[in-house]
Amino acid sequence: MLSIDKPQWMLEPSVQSIPQEKLDFLQKLVFESAALSRKELLPFLMALTQRSKQARISFSKEEMSAVITAIRKYSTPEEIQKMDQIMKLMAQKA
């Protein structure tokens, strides 16, 4: 049964094997980071890392790839640009 409350990207077949709590965590990230400036993103990502550790949520490279592909499919060019910024900051932090 499909839920009308779920964003379209969560209904993609490629993310169906990922536990729902991980998808919900990511949706919250997308929602919370939407209005942040580039300057605000790094502190946000650092806090997010702590929250994910506390919640014991981690993603394999395969899960992240599937999620990113699914989210990008339904994103505007502006949202894709924001995701690219987040990914770049995360890569620098690693």
pLDDT tens, residue by residue, 8-26:
999 999 999 999 989 988 8
Closest alpha carbon to 34 in 55, 61, 7: 7
Residue 79: pLDDT band (50, 70, 90) is confident
For residues 71 and 76, give the distance between their C-alpha atoms in angstroms, rounded to a whole number: 10
Q: Are 57 and 25 in contact (CB under 8 A)?
A: yes
Q: Are the CB atoms for 25 and 55 separated by under 8 Å?
A: yes
The answer to whether residues 67 and 59 touch, using CB atoms and an 8 Å cutoff, is yes
**Global pTM value:** 0.71
